[in-house]
Amino acid sequence: MLNFRQYWLATLIIGAVGGYLASLVNWPLPWVIGALLAVMITRCAGGLVPDIPHGRQAGQLIIAVAIGCHFTLPVMQQVAAHLGLIVIAILLTLVLALCSVLLLQRWGVPFNTAFFALMPANSTEMVHLGRQRQADTGFIAAAHSIRLLLILLAVPAVATLGVPHAVVRTPLPVIWPWLLFILAMGWLAALAFKRCNLPNPWTFGPFLICAVGVGCNNLSMSMPGWLSGGGQLLIGCALGAAFDRGFLCRAPGFLLKVLSLLAGSVIATALAAWALGAGLGMPWLSLALGMMPGSAPEMSLTAEALGLAVTLVTAMQIIRMVLIQAACLPLYRLLVHRPRRSWLAGEGRQR
């Protein structure tokens, strides 16, 4: 009897059809969102379409290198000049996430589950940390899936409305020897990052290799559209495979609470980015994409598609992930062990 995981080619075909249909109607990020919706709808309808083996990792590797090609030396210098602004914006994102955590706890969800469910960090790491602290890992995984789905469906579409005429850029040449070398080195870097238990190894490792390689050698190169599209397709299929028929039946009250808090957080993030951009004379839409509690590849691809500041968005997303990942446990310990002077009193008993 064949294992249903052997039918992963059907997942790829369904995702490709969804991506193609989305491209026909000019959806933002068609090969990500179209594939995600097609695979998700198929699975929720009962179709036995499995995750593509190593598909997400391969997609993240390709997209990380595609985004890294933007990081020329002058651009990296501009990012370094705005480092203070980037950190301030990330701190605002963290404050909004903590407010959502406290509200979810007030609505009856134990603090350990609420905290790791709403921290805008790597979902796998949040599930792992939550399991160590007796949180409900099923709720945590579901909350992060809802977060990514909401961000991907709402943010690119709204951002497209904010930029009615995207900038058409002249594509840079594809330097195949360098591109193949960077892809190979990025793969090795991802394996090294994974072995060292670093967050998001298949994004951060290849991105670091590409950014350093392009910046230090002053290269002006890009990735061919068909290869970048293939990476987007693999990511979309992987995201869609996280949903099934029983997903929305799993504690619908909890999921509705999470969805409402995430929607409010997205709106608040956009308003904070607008205020920050207006005060400092920065492009607020680029700041908003950089501050969104989504995923670095998808937000960077949205910025690229709209002709926005790809490097600023990517730098903000990566620094956000690193800082929040590093601050996660100290913040948890600080909040969970606060005495009765705070409204978290007694949460130490829920651990």
Give the position of tokens 């670095």: 296
Record the tokens describing residue 269, joined without a space.
């993030």
Distance, in Å, from the CA atom of 241 to the CA atom of 39, rounded to the nearest integer, reads 6
Distance between CA atoms of residues 149 and 33, nearest Å: 9
Share of the chain above pLDDT 90, in %: 45
User: Per the structure block, which two tokens stand in for 168?
Assistant: 């058409």
Q: What is the pLDDT of residue 10?
A: 93
Give the number of other Cβ atoms within 10 Å of residue 199's Cβ: 17
Alpha helices, H only, the chain? 8-24, 30-44, 55-68, 73-81, 83-106, 111-118, 123-132, 137-162, 176-195, 201-216, 225-240, 252-280, 284-291, 296-306, 310-336
Per-residue model confidence (pLDDT) at position 168 = 56
Q: Are the CB atoms for 263 and 49 separated by under 8 Å?
A: no
Taking residues 139-152, what's their average pLDDT?
90
Mean per-residue pLDDT, 305-324: 86
C-alpha 308/C-alpha 167 separation (Å) is: 8
Q: Domain extents for the chain? A: 55-350
pTM of the model: 0.84
How many residues does the structure list for the chain? 351
**How far, in Å, CA of 171 to CA of 187, rounded?**
25
Residue 113 pLDDT greater than 90, yes or no: yes
Q: What is the pLDDT of residue 245?
A: 78
**What is the reported pLDDT for 242?**
83
* Mean pLDDT rounded to a whole number for the chain: 86
pLDDT for the residue numbered 170: 67
If one compares 236 and 309, the residue with the highest pLDDT of the two is 236
In this prediction, residue 5 carries a pLDDT of 61
Cα–Cα distances (Å) from 276 to 82, 155, 174, 273, in that order, read 13, 18, 36, 5
Query: pLDDT digits over 34-85, tens only?
Result: 999 999 999 988 888 899 999 999 999 999 999 999 888 787 787 888 888 8
236 Ramachandran zone, left/alpha/beta (phi>0; psi -120 to 50): alpha
Task: Tell me what pLDDT residue 252 has.
Answer: 84
246 in Cβ contact with 137 (< 8 Å): no
Q: What is the mean pLDDT of residues 253-257?
A: 88
- C-alpha torsion angle, residues 127, 132, 134, 136 (rounded to 10): 10
- As given in the structure block, the two tokens for residue 232 are 């987007």
Most confident stretch, 109-123, 174-188, 269-283? 174-188
Res 154 pLDDT > 60: yes
- What is the rounded average pLDDT of the residues 297-320? 87
State residue 122's pLDDT score.
79
pLDDT at 76: 79
Q: Output the pLDDT for position 283.
A: 85
Residue 129's φ and ψ, nearest 5 degrees, are -65, -40
Query: Which residue, among 202, 191, 199, 198, has the nearest Cα to 67 in the 3D structure?
Result: 202
> Tell me, what's the pLDDT at 171?
73
Task: Report whether pLDDT(32) > 90.
Answer: yes
Pick the most confident of 128-132, 139-143, 187-191: 187-191
Q: How confident is the model at residue 346 (pLDDT cuts 50, 70, 90)?
A: very low
DSSP 190: H
